[in-house]
Structure 1
Amino acid sequence: MLARPLPDYLVRRYHGWKATSYAENRSWYRRLAEEGQRPRAMVISCCDSRVHVTSIFGADQGEFFIHRNIANLVPPYEPDGNQHGTSAAVEYAVTTLRVAHLIIMGHSACGGVRGCYDMCEGNAPALEDKTSFVGRWMDLLRPGYADLPEGDEATRVAALEKAAVMTSLGNLMTFPFVKSAVEAEELTLHGCWNDISTGGLEVLDAETGVFHPV
């Protein structure tokens, strides 16, 4: 086995949590274990360590079903026999947990989106290599590059971050069980973008395709 013991600082933090947060809410954790989870919403966010959706929305354990991946992307519906972690998470949330809301959370300074931008500009040969998992994942966002507005680089990269949210929302509707749940008004889709530096949150207006501060 290659696995090693946890670093001491993580063990200390665990014991601190067990003695405080857990001890003060012991009955709630027991109820979650015995009755199962009933989250009202699924959140698909980036792996970026600076994006912490439970803190942003003040969520407790059991409220959100969370899936994280590079650049908060959802691939199109492709039941081709390959392994699809994101698609499996969406299926479980919608068909088994029957969440009422599905939120795509994008953010500023996204490394994955920046990688896609650099690829499209011809400045990321390592990501272009067919063996790059990140590069092939970010191929999902390449179509969004063609629609970027004119402007400086920072403006265009920020626009691509928001295009990643819209790409994911569009791809979600290719899943038959998502489409049927939305049409039956059993599920609503939401697009958000978090500005890490200011703590700002913008929400997509589906009718105009514009993100507005909340």
Structure 2
Amino acid sequence: MHDIARFIKGFQSFQKRFFCDDSSLYDILKGGQKPRTLVIACIDSRVDPAILTGSQPGELLVVRNVANLVPPYEPDAGLHGVSAALEHGVTRLEVEHIIVLGHACCGGIQTLMTLQEHQDQKTEFLGNWVRIADRARLQTLTDLGDKPTDLQQQACEQAAILVSLENLLTFPWVKQRVEAGTLFLHGWYFDLRTGDLMSYLPESGAFEPLAPRCW
């Protein structure tokens, strides 16, 4: 119950800041939202997009799932939560940027990297979900199969971001807007071990720091 009490106290601070001290932001937001950026992030409790970017309410449209994955475009009768969120953000809210935000020490990618080793440990949903990035795993093992597991893990985390960026372009209304120059895709990687935030640069084919370190 200690956590719940702390959460309530935290909400009271939020309420005081945005509704008691100055309600001007929510006076605007109650009329509707118009975020310019959609972030696809992991459910990991250590990697909150709004906290990492210092964003205010209404600035980010956030989709979170295990390992920040984007499935390919599959317009069938399935229940596609990520795809529905993308459709809402792109075609209705008309976001201008989509950021796929991956991170170090990702449990979802760790599960992906060890799937073949633990065939006896079946999962109901997790295994099938992370297989969205299976080509990232295969590429990592091809390139770094003789390297330490922590290096493989990081490489797969970053490669999975690229898989999601590629999958985004399988959605026709995403691809159309990207080609028209009205929507921009970004691959970011937060290294929670070092505090670095990096972005994938197609020119170099590598993840480069977005900001200098503060120390």
Structure 1 residue 124: Cα displacement: 5.5
Q: Is the 8 A contact 2:99 2:185 kept in 1?
A: yes
Q: What is the one-letter code of the residue matched to 1:185? A: G
Structure 1 residue 86: Cα displacement: 0.3
Q: What is the one-letter code of the residue matched to 1:7? A: I
Instruction: Select the residue among 175, 184, 189 that pairs with 2:185.
Output: 189
Moved more, 133-142 or 14-23: 14-23
Q: Is the 8 A contact 1:119 1:125 kept in 2?
A: no
Residue 173 of structure 1 is matched in structure 2 by 169
Does structure 1 residue 25 correspond to structure 2 residue 22? yes
Structure 1 residue 12: Cα displacement: 2.4
Q: What is the one-letter code of the residue matched to 1:74? A: V
Correspondences of 1:116-135 after superposition (within 5 Å): 116-120=112-116, 122-123=117-118, 125-126=120-121, 129=122, 132-135=124-127
- Local SS of the residue matching 1:42: strand
Moved more, 141-150 or 170-179: 141-150
Identity of matched residues, % = 38
Structure 1 residue 11: Cα displacement: 2.2
| TM-score when normalising by structure 1 | 0.90
Q: What is the one-letter code of the residue matched to 2:30? A: A
Q: Is the 8 A contact 1:115 1:124 kept in 2?
A: no
Structure 1 residue 22: Cα displacement: 3.4
Structure 1 residue 81: Cα displacement: 0.6
Residue 97 of structure 1 is matched in structure 2 by 93
Moved more, 200-209 or 169-178: 200-209
Q: Which runs of 4+ in 1 moved over 6 A?
A: none
Residue 135 of structure 2 is matched in structure 1 by 143
Q: Is the 8 A contact 1:112 1:138 kept in 2?
A: yes
5+ residue gaps, structure 2: 211-215
- Local SS of the residue matching 1:125: coil
Structure 1 residue 20: Cα displacement: 3.0
Structure 1 residue 8: Cα displacement: 2.8
Q: What is the one-letter code of the residue matched to 1:191? A: G
Residue 203 of structure 1 is matched in structure 2 by 199
Instruction: Select the residue among 66, 83, 87 that pairs with 1:87.
Output: 83
Structure 1 residue 10: Cα displacement: 2.3
Structure 1 residue 172: Cα displacement: 0.3
**Aligned mates of 1:124, 1:13 — CA distance in 2:** 43
Structure 1 residue 21: Cα displacement: 4.1
Q: What is the one-letter code of the residue matched to 1:42? A: L
- Local SS of the residue matching 2:181: coil
Structure 1 residue 53: Cα displacement: 1.3
Moved more, 9-18 or 36-45: 9-18
Q: Is the 8 A contact 2:112 2:130 kept in 1?
A: yes
- Local SS of the residue matching 1:112: helix
Does structure 1 residue 12 correspond to structure 2 residue 4? no
Residue 213 of structure 2 is matched in structure 1 by none
| TM-score when normalising by structure 2 | 0.90
Structure 1 residue 143: Cα displacement: 1.4
Give the aligned length.
204
Structure 1 residue 97: Cα displacement: 0.6
